[in-house]
Amino acid sequence: MNYVPKIDRRSFVIGTAAAGAGFSLGMSLPFGEAHAQQGTPELNAWVVVKPDDTVVVRIARSEMGQGALTGLCQLVAEELEADWSKVTWEYVDPRENVRRKRIYGNMNSTGSNAIRQSHDYVRRGGAAARQMLIQAAAAEWKVPASECTAANSIITHTPSGRKTSYGKVVNAAVKIEPPDPKSLTLKDPKVWKIAGKPIARLDTRAKVTGEQKYAADTQLPGMLNAAIKACPVRGGKVVSFDAAKVKGMKGVKNVLAVGGTAVAVVADTWWHAKTALDALPVTWDEGPGAKVSSATIEATLKEGLEAETPFIGNRAGDINAALAGAAKKVEATYAYPYQNHACMEPLNATARYTADKCEVWTSTQNAEAVLAAAVEASGLPFNNVEVTVVTAGGGFGRRARTDYVTQAVQIARQMPGTPIKLLWSREEDMTQGTYHPITMCKLTASLDANNNLTGLRMRISGQSILAGIAPERLDKGRDPATFQGLNAGGTEGQIGYDIPNILIDHAMRNPHLTPGFWRGVNNNQNAIYLECFIDEVAHAAGQDPLAFRRKMMAKHPRHLAVLNAAAEKADYGKPLPKGVFRGIAQQMGYGSYVAAVAEVSVSSDGLLTIHRIVGATDSGHVVNPASVERQIAGSFVYGLSAILYGGCTVKDGRVEQTNFDSYNSMRMAAMPKVESVLVPSGGFWGGVGEPTIFVAAPAVLNAIFAATGKRIRSFPLKDQGIRTA
């Protein structure tokens, strides 16, 4: 194949985003000619069968703990009729995707999209391979293919009972003309045998023996280690540094400027690099960001709560008339702080650069973006850059960025021929985040004389993720993602209430910190704003929070069904032990409907115990219920960590939290008992990696209000007199 695209970072990333709209490339194109992979021809881009019956499923998305790897293999194996015990996998080389006209579609793994946006074409890959294998066996037996069936990697000629295995016919099968993917009929999920089952993850054993290699574990002959420090004030630059001061320190090989914004020390071991870096005198030009503090950001956001803005997310009826005619009004202002992703595996990348080749080993949520970043940073042509994707120790949105890859290549480029492993310290990770954006929200509700909610006014003020990192995706300056979960319609983030008069708008105020997509993204704060406020309104109306919600959900049956499922499982309405109180919340996003009921107690001196949380999800289809349960439980941990202990504050332009001592995370002692309720209603494919996180905080916050009578509207709770065990 001679297809070599014109590649640059910007057009590549935009192209990747644009492809996200349809995700049809993998199936609108033929599966392509057979490509030899390690001496074994492939049946199509997704499936390789080896003569020993091993099935290799190609994984174009990232595995970062969420279980996409196992789920995608289940989907392919289901259509392939494969013997699950023979199924293995390999990551797709992002260059192959470009060379093969993006046959693998979007390789990005964000927005809970890994399965929900590729299920169709990977299943067609499995189905096409099965058809070719059956045809090959039928041809060998000189019988009609229609008389043959496949199951468990065995093909049977039904009339004669003859059998053969996939591995025995694969060499003939790869020579058969692949079917048109669109001509294939996929299985009804009702008859799934492998997909839809709580099958064990394919990557567990290596993760309990220490054998699993993460990018941070990369070892190459002659490799050196680099530690890096970028200007602690975002937007600042390196003015000078005194390399002579540390060059004589043990193991130090080089002291370098990186991209004008950072300094790095390269040494034999990472500890030597880090020790010398800590001792390196650096003069920064901190830029205008140095004047920013949490107080100045708060003032800016507060101004935005009252300012004029053209950016409207949801409008119906006449909110002003509703508020003017209200029998009762409720008003509250909430705030949600910056958050850091804090993946357990700190960001890292290994690069080797020579005059005609650049190689990168890293973990990422977007292998193609890594490729684009390496092409740009190396200055080499696309064909001279190689990217090896390694399993990620967490992603949560941070590994959708490629800043650490660019830095690794920039360092390697200054030391040609030597492989350099760049590993960020935890302090660097905390200081150089792409943070969950900071926002505030002022909410006003109108109730009529019968305590019906007649109007809802929401003014969001604060940072836009898209303005910060993907401005090409803004809609005439407006950030549509700001309104996740609050939209009037659509399949991504639809509000679950029918409110006759509504106005939700956004005053965009962008502080200097770089924002980023953080598990759940804008649903996190929007669900707190909406669901805690609805709770406030219910109490103002003197009504039960569940009953009050239900009245407004008749036109949103899926939202309502999942809320009911959570309430039923949680025995809502039945008495709780003395001192234990309930809170509920529901939200919709990334194609799925979620709800939670939390049961908490709060001691008089602020000790919060979360006894139990019931989390219900309707994701349409469920590919692996055990994976979904893990994502539900994990979402509570990640979302509650942020609300209990998280929050990044700014002083002199710097994020003040530098490690887990100041940015804590939930541990065993605070972990509630989580009960998952899976209520897939079929007919659609929703995500599961993120949705539950939306309801984690509001369910617990509403329960805290029920327990204490005190409504907390700014976070983290540790700063509001609430602590955990």
Beta-carbon count within 10 A of 626 CB: 16
Would you say 141 or 214 has its CB closer to other proteins? 214
Contact call for residue 216 and other proteins (CB under 8 A): yes
Scanning residues 471 to 500, which ones bind other proteins (CB under 8 A)?
A: none
Contact call for residue 207 and other proteins (CB under 8 A): yes
Query: Considering only residues 16, 44, 66, 112, which one is a binding residue for other proteins as defined by CB under 8 A?
Result: 66
DSSP string for residues in 692-714: HHHHHHHHHHHHHHHHHS----S
Min CB(217)–other proteins separation in Å: 4
Contact call for residue 529 and other proteins (CB under 8 A): no
Judged by CB under 8 A, the stretch of 282-290, 523-531, 626-634, 680-688 that binds other proteins is: 626-634
Contact call for residue 615 and other proteins (CB under 8 A): no
Residue 614: CB partners within 8 Å, gap ≥ 6?
566, 569, 570, 596, 597, 674, 675, 677
Query: Considering only residues 84, 270, 284, 404, which one is a binding residue for other proteins as defined by CB under 8 A?
Result: 270
C-alpha to C-alpha distance for 597 and 583, rounded to whole angstroms? 6
Judged by CB under 8 A, the stretch of 25-33, 209-217, 373-381, 535-543 that binds other proteins is: 209-217
In this structure, what is the dihedral angle of CA atoms 658, 659, 664, 665, given to the nearest 10 degrees?
120
Judged by CB under 8 A, the stretch of 2-10, 265-273, 406-414, 496-504 that binds other proteins is: 265-273
C-alpha to C-alpha distance for 104 and 351, rounded to whole angstroms? 25
Contact 228, 258 (CB under 8 A): yes
Contact call for residue 607 and other proteins (CB under 8 A): no
Contact call for residue 339 and other proteins (CB under 8 A): no
Contact call for residue 544 and other proteins (CB under 8 A): no
Contact 375, 382 (CB under 8 A): yes
Beta-carbon count within 10 A of 152 CB: 16
Would you say 267 or 534 has its CB closer to other proteins? 267
- Spell 226-236 as b/e; 16+ CB within 10 A means b: bbbbbbbbbbb
Min CB(568)–other proteins separation in Å: 21
Query: Considering only residues 345, 368, 479, 531, which one is a binding residue for other proteins as defined by CB under 8 A?
Result: 345
Min CB(350)–other proteins separation in Å: 13
* Tokens (6 digits) for 384: 């001279």
Query: Considering only residues 130, 558, 630, 654, which one is a binding residue for other proteins as defined by CB under 8 A?
Result: 630
The H or E element containing residue 98 is helix 94-99
Judged by CB under 8 A, the stretch of 1-9, 208-216, 558-566, 699-707 that binds other proteins is: 208-216
Would you say 66 or 300 has its CB closer to other proteins? 66
Query: Considering only residues 228, 301, 614, 633, which one is a binding residue for other proteins as defined by CB under 8 A?
Result: 633
Min CB(72)–other proteins separation in Å: 16
Would you say 187 or 612 has its CB closer to other proteins? 612
C-alpha to C-alpha distance for 414 and 407, rounded to whole angstroms? 11
Min CB(662)–other proteins separation in Å: 10
Min CB(221)–other proteins separation in Å: 12
Query: Considering only residues 219, 320, 383, 603, which one is a binding residue for other proteins as defined by CB under 8 A?
Result: 219
Query: Considering only residues 10, 101, 175, 205, which one is a binding residue for other proteins as defined by CB under 8 A?
Result: 205
Judged by CB under 8 A, the stretch of 206-214, 326-334, 410-418, 477-485 that binds other proteins is: 206-214
Min CB(209)–other proteins separation in Å: 7
Min CB(429)–other proteins separation in Å: 10
Would you say 11 or 269 has its CB closer to other proteins? 269
Min CB(222)–other proteins separation in Å: 14
Contact 657, 434 (CB under 8 A): no
Query: Considering only residues 136, 155, 246, 343, which one is a binding residue for other proteins as defined by CB under 8 A?
Result: 343
Would you say 342 or 371 has its CB closer to other proteins? 342
Scanning residues 648 to 667, which ones bind other proteins (CB under 8 A)?
A: 659-661, 665-667
Residue 539: CB partners within 8 Å, gap ≥ 6?
545, 705
Contact call for residue 636 and other proteins (CB under 8 A): yes
Contact call for residue 271 and other proteins (CB under 8 A): yes
Contact call for residue 113 and other proteins (CB under 8 A): no
Q: Is 549 helix (H, G, I), strand (E, B) or coil?
A: helix
Judged by CB under 8 A, the stretch of 88-96, 213-221, 373-381, 576-584 that binds other proteins is: 213-221
3-state secondary structure labels for all residues of 179-197: CCHHHCCCCCHHHCCCCCC
Contact 404, 362 (CB under 8 A): yes
Would you say 19 or 674 has its CB closer to other proteins? 674
Residue ranges with strand state E in 619-678: 650-651, 654-655, 673-678
Contact call for residue 54 and other proteins (CB under 8 A): no
Distances (CA, A) of 602 to 567, 606, 608, 705: 21, 6, 5, 10
Contact call for residue 279 and other proteins (CB under 8 A): no
Contact call for residue 247 and other proteins (CB under 8 A): no
* Residue appearing with tokens 């954006």: 437
Long-range contacts of 2-7 (CB under 8 A, 24+ apart): 3/98, 3/99, 3/100, 3/101, 4/99, 4/382, 4/383, 5/98, 5/382, 7/98, 7/372, 7/375, 7/382
Scanning residues 667 to 706, which ones bind other proteins (CB under 8 A)?
A: 667-669, 671, 673-674
Phi, psi of 48 (to 5 degrees): -120, 130
* Nearest partner of 647 among 339, 434, 296, judged by Cα: 339
Would you say 65 or 455 has its CB closer to other proteins? 65
Site track for other proteins across 384-423, x = CB under 8 A: -------xxxxxx--------------------------x
Query: Which class for 164: exposed (0-12), middle (13-18), buried (19 or more C-beta within 10 A)?
Result: middle
What residue spans of 363-421 are helical by DSSP H?
A: 367-378, 403-413
Question: How many residues of this chain bind other proteins (CB under 8 A)?
Answer: 62
In this structure, what is the dihedral angle of CA atoms 306, 308, 310, 314, given to the nearest 10 degrees?
30
Scanning residues 225 to 244, which ones bind other proteins (CB under 8 A)?
A: 225
Min CB(256)–other proteins separation in Å: 20
Instruction: Round the CA-based radius of gyration of the chain to a whole number and report it.
Output: 27
Contact call for residue 65 and other proteins (CB under 8 A): yes
Phi, psi of 80 (to 5 degrees): -75, -20
* Tokens (6 digits) for 340: 């850091």
Min CB(224)–other proteins separation in Å: 10
* Tokens (6 digits) for 425: 């310290």
Contact 89, 57 (CB under 8 A): yes
C-alpha to C-alpha distance for 552 and 537, rounded to whole angstroms? 13
Would you say 205 or 245 has its CB closer to other proteins? 205
Site track for other proteins across 309-338, x = CB under 8 A: ------------------------------
Query: Considering only residues 50, 201, 234, 713, which one is a binding residue for other proteins as defined by CB under 8 A?
Result: 201
* Tokens (6 digits) for 232: 């602690």
439-447 and 328-336 strand pairing: antiparallel
The residues that touch other proteins, with contacts defined as CB under 8 A, are 64-67, 200-201, 203-214, 216-217, 219, 225, 250, 268-271, 342-346, 391-396, 423, 425-426, 626, 630, 633-638, 641, 659-661, 665-669, 671, 673-674, 725
